[in-house]
Amino acid sequence: MSPFIRIRNVTRRFGDVVAVDDLSLDIDRGELFCLLGASGCGKTTLLRMLAGFERVDSGSIEIDGIDMAAVPPAARPVNIMFQNYALFPHMSVADNIAYGLRRAGLPKPEIVARLEELLRLVRLTGMGARQPLQLSGGQRQRVALARALARRPKLLLLDEPLAALDKKLREDTQFELVDIQERLETTFIVVTHDQEEAMTLASRIGVMDAGKLVQVDTPRTLYDRPRNRFIADFLGTVSFLEGVVTSVNGGFVSIDGAVSVTAADPGGFAVGDAVRMAIRPEKIALGRAPSGGVNEIPVTVEDLAFTGVATNYRVIGPDGVRLKLTHPNRRGDVVPLEWEQTGFVSFDPADVVLLRD
């Protein structure tokens, strides 16, 4: 069986700029897929090509086995939830949500029934008569979602669905969005520049850079096994160390640089290779005294920041090596070191990611 969405060698140029560059991607039915990238990486162009608002210069897009080249936006089984929602300001909440149903010429009783169902789905029952401007940001987001879902699209595109919400609301809303997606089993493609949003929402993430997909994987794989420096840096905080491979032995690689590090062998590295090591802040343990394990480095605390849930440290090791680490403020976990104190950090060889760039 062919995949639900089949993007093959799609390219789109604006003048000299290649917005989307020979991109191929398959997405399965019912997935919550996330296109992640910085602004200008081409993710929004790809989204608009799926919706039919943007021409495809070369390549093809198939949705549910049908080539979309000749299908105008209104006829595609696709709806889009716009960034900033694009609610019609001159229509009530109900008229906004029913807009697509009216265009489709549905009979009035069916429109009313469907409207009630949608209002219930997004927990806005009884607010149909309100004007969009009278709503809070979170309510507006839910109206936009209901409007985009009204025509029961096979594919829903969401352009930065949480960007306009404040931090606290964002967390609740992302759980809600995942719930609705799971209940309806509609395929969702979310475009975002926020790596945390992507990781919490998506079953799979495609990271885009300069019009190309750099890596497509589950959030956990992307975070724990980034393919290159760009991905490692883009998805969360990371510390980089540089060095040269001195031995490859029994599943471990030894690397010499400002500090000596032992890493689990991912294969493909030989003695003499220059490597960059990426280590996540939560994988580094900090203690007052050495524990005698591998990868233990004496450090001085340069900065520390209490964030509530955790305390973030910046420490300096030998040769000015800087590491960022985070220490959860859990029960029983005492904060091990204060500002300008010295101690030791250590990390597991399995938590060291070796990169070539």
- Which residues of the shown chain bind other proteins in the complex (CB under 8 A)? 51, 53, 70-74, 78-80, 82-84, 86, 88-90, 99-100, 103-104, 147, 150-151
The string of DSSP codes covering 213-236 is EEEEE-HHHHHHS-SSHHHHHHSS
Task: Identify which of residues 149 and 199 has a Cβ nearer to a second copy in the complex.
Answer: 199
The string of DSSP codes covering 255-321 is EEESSEEEEE--S---TT-EEEEEE-GGG-EEESS----SSEEEEEEEEEEE-SSEEEEEEE-GGG-
For residue 165, give both structure tokens: 């919400």
In angstroms, rounded to a whole number, what is the distance separating the alpha carbons of residues 165 and 172? 10
249 binds, among a second copy, other proteins, none (CB under 5 to 8 A by kind): none
The continuous run of DSSP H or E covering 146 comes out as: helix 137-149
330 scored as a contact of a second copy (CB under 8 A)? yes
150 binds, among other proteins, a second copy, none (CB under 5 to 8 A by kind): other proteins
For residue 1, give both structure tokens: 């069986």
**Chosen residue from 308, 319, 338, 357 binding a second copy by CB under 8 A:** 308
Find the farthest-apart pair of alpha carbons in the chain and give their distance in angstroms, rounded. 75
User: Which amino acid is it at 63?
Assistant: I
End-to-end CA distance of the chain: 37
**Chosen residue from 133, 331, 334, 338 binding a second copy by CB under 8 A:** 331
Task: Identify which of residues 96 and 311 has a Cβ nearer to other proteins in the complex.
Answer: 96
Q: From the CB of 118, what's the least distance to other proteins, in Å?
A: 13
210 binds, among other proteins, a second copy, none (CB under 5 to 8 A by kind): none
Restricted to residues 168-227, the positions that interact with a second copy (CB under 8 A) are: 171, 174-175, 178-179, 194-196, 199-200, 219-220, 223
Q: From the CB of 132, what's the least distance to other proteins, in Å?
A: 11
Enumerate helices (H) and strands (E) in the chain, giving the number of each: 8, 20
Residues that bind a second copy (CB under 8 A): 167, 171, 174-175, 178-179, 194-196, 199-200, 219-220, 223, 235-237, 280-283, 285, 303, 305-310, 312, 314, 326, 328-332, 347-348, 350-351
